[in-house]
Each structure stands twice: as structure tokens, then as C-alpha cells.
Amino acid sequence: MENTFSPQELLKIAIGVEENGKNLYETLENKAKSEKIKAIWKYLKEQEEIHRQIFKQMLDDVDNYIVYEFSPGEYDAYLKAIASSYIFTKGLIEKKITELFNSELEAVDFGIYIEKESILALSALKEYITSDKKSVLNKIIAEERKHLVSLTDLKQDILK
């Protein structure tokens, strides 16, 4: 991958993260022992697919979403750092699909990590989205925050 990251590149990475997240959550759903935990993994799996489709549409219609007149410099370096971390997350998800986890708690902690990374990367992408389309990205970020809360609540239930 190049040393620079465009908003389009970040969208491509987001599509991959959502695909891998869907696959991971599906694997976790199939292995879950508790119906409550199974339901949460199923919900997250379905959400990842919805988000993947939205990012795909954004990429397909990129000229209506991306601001090109953005001044380069410090923010580009920030985007590069975020994208690099997001690529690492994508690879980690792929690895976890095959390795899985030693416990449900470990799986939930990993889900929390994925949601946090997604929120961070998508928040960085907001700077490049046209004003009239920011609501699309804001909605996904809000949903990722809800996922984070759900997983954090689930972690507390497991720890009880």
C-alpha cells in the first residue's frame, strides 16, 4: 500500500473491515453458548453488512461524497496514522476469524477494540465528507457507538 492515504483508500479499508467484522461476528454467533451473546453477535453481524453496503455506495459515488479542496498537511499525516492502524485492525480480524478466542470475555474485548478503531477511523474520514452527506457517516458512527455500549454492557454481564 502507498505511503499516502486518500479518503477513497480509507473507504476501501472500511469496506474490508466491515466485511471481516461481519465474518468474525458470524463465526462468534455460531460458537456462542448463551442465547443472549448469540443475539448480540447476530445483530453486530447484520450491522456490519449494512455499513459495508453504505461504504460501498459512498465509494461508487465518491464525487458526491468527498471534498477534494481540502488543504493538505497535518491532517493528512493524521489520516495516514489512522488508516495504518485501521489496516492493522483489518488484518487482526482476519487472524481472529481463524484463531478465535479463549473465552467469550476475550471475544467481547476484541469486539470493543474493533468498535473503538472504527469510530476513530470514521471520525477522521468526516473531515473529507461534503457537508450535505455528513449525516450518512454520522449515523454510522452513532451506530458504532451503540455497538460499543452494547459490548461494554455485555462485558459487565460476563464479569458478574
66 pairs with which residues across the strands? Answer: 129
Class of 7-159 in CATH = mainly alpha
Domain ranges of the chain: 7-159
Note every long-range contact of 142-151, with CB atoms under 8 Å and residues 24 or more positions apart, other chains counting.
Answer: 143/47, 143/51, 144/115, 144/118, 144/119, 145/115, 145/119, 147/44, 147/47, 147/111, 147/115, 148/112, 148/115, 148/116, 148/119, 150/40, 150/43, 150/44, 151/40, 151/108, 151/111, 151/112, 151/115
pTM score: 0.82
List the chain pLDDT tens, one digit each, 160 residues. 444 567 777 788 888 888 988 999 999 999 988 898 999 999 999 999 999 999 899 888 877 777 755 556 666 677 777 777 877 788 888 888 888 888 999 999 999 999 998 898 888 888 778 888 888 889 999 999 999 999 999 999 999 8
Tell me which DSSP letter residue 61 carries.
T
